[in-house]
Amino acid sequence: MRRGVRVLFVGINPGVRSALTNHHFAGHSNRFWKLLFDAGLVPEPITFVDDDRLPEWGFGVTNLIARPTPGIDTLVRADYDAGLLELRRKVRRWKPQVVALVGVTLYRFVFRVPPREPIALGMQHDLFEGARVFVLPNPSGRNANFSYAEMLAAFAGLKSQDPV
């Protein structure tokens, strides 16, 4: 990651394919890269192998937890707590204007929101280490909570909030 990151995308942790390829959001059914293009956040179609190009457009990407797993069900509280400390350090260092939390589950953890309390996608009132917070749906193919159209609307909402 380089300085000048306007928006830092934060996932929970890498999946197996991301770990094997050493690229973010690399799962076969992950729609992250398609959503970036379809929402107009990047000017050309890109894939996980292009994740190192995100700084060209003022974006960065990281994970809360570095340890790869097939799903989040094997992560433990200690993983989350250690990851949160590291994420705070990254955000203080890189000073993005917006931290885009990729997944409602991630937002719930970071801000200690109870499981049954509804979470709206989009810009939140919370700040994270001085950065504005935007909640995106998890684009994994395992996420059946949002349709592609709903995901696209959320990513497009980030574009409308992006401080260019």
pLDDT digits (tens, 9 = 90+) for 84-99: 999 999 999 999 999 9
**Rounded CA separation 122/156 (Å):** 10
Placement of tokens 């190192």 in the chain = 52
**Rounded CA separation 131/128 (Å):** 5
CB 100 within 8 A of CB 7: yes
| Arithmetic mean of pLDDT over the chain | 89
> Which CATH code for domain 7-161?
3.40.470.10
Instruction: Give the bridge partners for 101, in sequence order.
Output: 10, 135
Q: What is the mean pLDDT of residues 103-119?
A: 94
The per-type count for the chain, helices as H runs and strands as E runs, is: 5, 5
DSSP string, 122-140: EEEEEEETTEEEEEE---S
Q: What is the DSSP letter of 64?
A: S
Instruction: State the pLDDT at residue 162.
Output: 53
Instruction: State the pLDDT at residue 1.
Output: 44
Q: What is the DSSP letter of 163?
A: -
Instruction: State the pLDDT at residue 76.
Output: 82
* Band of residue 69 on the pLDDT scale cut at 50, 70, 90: confident
**Rounded CA separation 157/80 (Å):** 27
Provide the token pair at 112: 């200690």
* Band of residue 21 on the pLDDT scale cut at 50, 70, 90: confident
**Rounded CA separation 37/137 (Å):** 16
**Rounded CA separation 31/4 (Å):** 25
| Domain range list for the chain | 7-161
pTM given for the model = 0.91
**Rounded CA separation 41/156 (Å):** 8
Instruction: State the pLDDT at residue 55.
Output: 94
What are the CA-CA distances from residue 49 to residues 20, 45, 141, 153 (Å)? 12, 12, 18, 24
